[in-house]
Chains A and B, each alone.
Chain A
Amino acid sequence: MGSLLGDWPSFDPHNFSQLRPADPTAQPSKLTPVTYHPIHNRTIPPPNQVITTESKNILLRQFYQKSEEQLRPKTKRAASESLMPEHSCKQPRGLNSDV
């Protein structure tokens, strides 16, 4: 497959079989992409997942979000808690961290 798509793997070896490379001297073996099957299940969608449009529009979502902030009781530890948020987006890696 070479060229623009690089050597990225594909799930199904029969994909891209119709693709003819621009370079006529390319070896036929490169026309079949490398096959890859994931061995972890971190990327599988949760069962019974249904994707729908959020019924509240963005303006209402903003109102609700601000309202939650206003009504959440603020404690004296608020100052120290504010140091945490910048790290909360990072999650610890699992044991199989090199996949």
Chain B
Amino acid sequence: MFRSNNLTARIFERQILTPRPGTSINLFRHFYENVCPSHTVYDIDCPDLSFRKFTDDGQFLIGFSRNHQDLVVYRPSWLNYSCKGECPYSLDLPPKARRFDSFFRHLFTISLASANEFICKDFFLYVDPYRFGLFATSTAQVNDNVASADGAIHGVPSIEKITFHLVRLDDGVVLDEKAFYNDFVNLAHSTGAFLYDDLLCIVSLRYQTIHILQIRESGNLVEVRRIGPYCQEDDELFLQSHAQVSPGSSFLPGIKQRLLSFIFRKTWNEEADQSMRVQHLKKKFYFHFQDYVDLIIWKAQFLDRHHLLIKFGSVDGGVSRNTDQGLSFFAVYNMETTEVVTFYQNSSEEMYSFFERFYDFFNSVSRNTLHAQYISSHTNNSHALNQLLNIKSKSGSFSQFVKKMMMTIPYTCQSHSPSPYFDLSLFRYDDKLISAIDRHRHSTEHPIKFISLRQPNVVKFKIKPGVEGGGPDGGRAKKVSSFLFHPYLPLVLSIQQTYMQPTVVNLHFKR
């Protein structure tokens, strides 16, 4: 713990201080209390792009052209200027401080989408060790009159072509592509895909398959496994050569079979009395059999290299993004043994206790990625835990509260910004106005304050998202803001979009 709040005193202390073992990074992150984005350049003159995010290692800023066809990548740098003679601190910044290219160097622009395709603006995954980016383009979505194909389920829309592009961000070379035809993958906010190290899982909702792909260092996307209709690699071959399937009947998909057999065994073993077992089975299992068979995969994530956490639910809720708190189920599936390890309902208290105690393990990344270790959650931070327990005690019904919390699982990969300004052990902020999760929020007129945790009366810095002076319409029109925080520099882009008006981009940085 630093003894003083003063930056110079802390630097001297750092020279002589030995932190407790394993806590040196935690201690030095306190320097972010002294280095904050305190100055704002309003309405910076920047190209008309929709900026997506900074990559988690801070090397690139990703943006897309307005027509959703081009990818534009910048490298964040810092303003340099010199002045003659004495440079008093109060000196105004030079005019080039108002220029976008003083802070960002344009690296390349490439076209990802062809004529009738569009880049999905919400989808972006960064493959950290190789500095690759994964993007998605798709053709238009077809909702009604979806021609039913072999193996496709009803009730899910279809997209003619979805392509995933693997781009090397250093130079803009498209390394590999993987296309899905007449399929549907939930691309909004990267929910349909999960990246763990070099393994990528993509959930095809229409064909109820989980594709496991490996990203090789050479840039190839290699399909390793396909889980859904079949579980083992040779299941399809075995069934076709051995089973005589009479027309009209078909086997249940492989994953569904594993799931049902697990539920069967669990229900069978629940009843201690042998004579009552069949009755118990009828009530608990066979009565709901068709409901279990009708479940579809909604979302999946890796828990480690061999285990998947799969969320199952009804057909209606799979595609919609509404906050419906209906029934859903979680299953942990071991890809190597093809066994379902466990199965819980979304209202399960046991599952909630795992959520409360081990949430960090749902945000599963390999231990090699450093920045992800410091994302605040209620498991690693006592203030966040207090907030959660407050909500728990204030909620009327415990099971509704549990269902609401379970909506955040499976975790959406790379959805939290690793910026230390969101670290709850350093700063307090209103998380209805701004938070580590990159979502658009309704804009507010008042500046968003970041208050130091250790000095509760001191506002370390503010972010005022609006246009300087309030804007021409006096701030009455509805505005939506989004904030892009650089992972380690005191640099923030706040983007404000107003209906029927040009987008305003402000830059906040440390002078």
Contact = CB atoms under 8 A, between A and B. Distances in A.
A binds B: yes
A67 B341 contact: yes
A70 interface: yes
Interface stretch (B96-104, B205-213, B262-270): B262-270
A73 interface: yes
Interface in A53-73: 55-60, 62-64, 66-67, 70-73
B361 A72 contact: no
B272 A56 contact: no
Nearest to A74: B272
Contacts of A25: none
B332 interface: yes
A76 interface: yes
A59 B364 CA distance: 11
Interface string B258-278: 000000011011111100000
B358 interface: yes
B358 A59 contact: yes
B350 interface: yes
A60 B269 contact: no
A57 B269 CA distance: 27
Interface of B: 265-266, 268-273, 303-304, 307, 332, 341-342, 350, 354, 358, 361-362, 364
B358 A66 contact: no
B266 A59 contact: no
Contact of B272 (A55, A57, A59, A76): A76
Nearest to A73: B269
Q: Which of A63, A64, A66 is packed against the most chain B CB atoms within 10 Å?
A: A63
Interface of A is mostly: helix
B77 to A, nearest CB: 38
A78 interface: yes
Given A62-B358, A63-B332, A67-B341, A78 B272 contact: yes
B280 to A, nearest CB: 11
10 contacts: A59-B303, A59-B354, A60-B304, A60-B332, A62-B358, A64-B341, A67-B332, A70-B270, A70-B342, A74-B270
A26 B287 CA distance: 83
A82 interface: no
A74 B280 CA distance: 14
The winner among B270, B341, B342 for most chain A CB atoms within 10 A is B342
A75 interface: yes
B304 A57 contact: yes
B507 to A, nearest CB: 40
Contact of A59 (B269, B271, B350, B362): B362
Contacts of A75: 272
A48 B265 CA distance: 38
A59 B342 contact: no
Given A60-B304, A62-B354, A63-B332, A70 B266 contact: yes
Contact of B342 (A55, A57, A67, A78): A67
Contacts of B304: 55-57, 60
A59 B341 contact: no
A87 B272 CA distance: 24
Nearest to B339: A67
Contact of B265 (A60, A71, A78): A71
Contacts of A57: 303-304, 361, 364
A63 B269 contact: no
A55 to B, nearest CB: 8
A60 B334 CA distance: 10
Given A70-B342, A74-B271, 8 more contacts: A55-B304, A57-B361, A59-B358, A60-B304, A63-B341, A63-B354, A73-B268, A76-B273
A57 B273 CA distance: 35
B411 to A, nearest CB: 12
Given A58-B358, A60-B303, A64-B341, A72 B272 contact: no
A72 B273 CA distance: 14
Contacts of B342: 63-64, 66-67, 70
Interface string A17-57: 00000000000000000000000000000000000000111
A71 B358 contact: no
A65 B493 CA distance: 46
A60 to B, nearest CB: 6
Interface string A63-97: 11011001111111010000000000000000000
Contact of B266 (A55, A60, A71): A71
The 5 closest A-B CB pairs, nearest first, are: A59-B361, A74-B272, A67-B342, A59-B358, A73-B269
B71 to A, nearest CB: 35
A65 to B, nearest CB: 9
A76 B350 CA distance: 24
Contacts of A73: 268-269
Contacts of B332: 60, 63, 67
Nearest to B305: A55
Contacts of A66: 342, 350
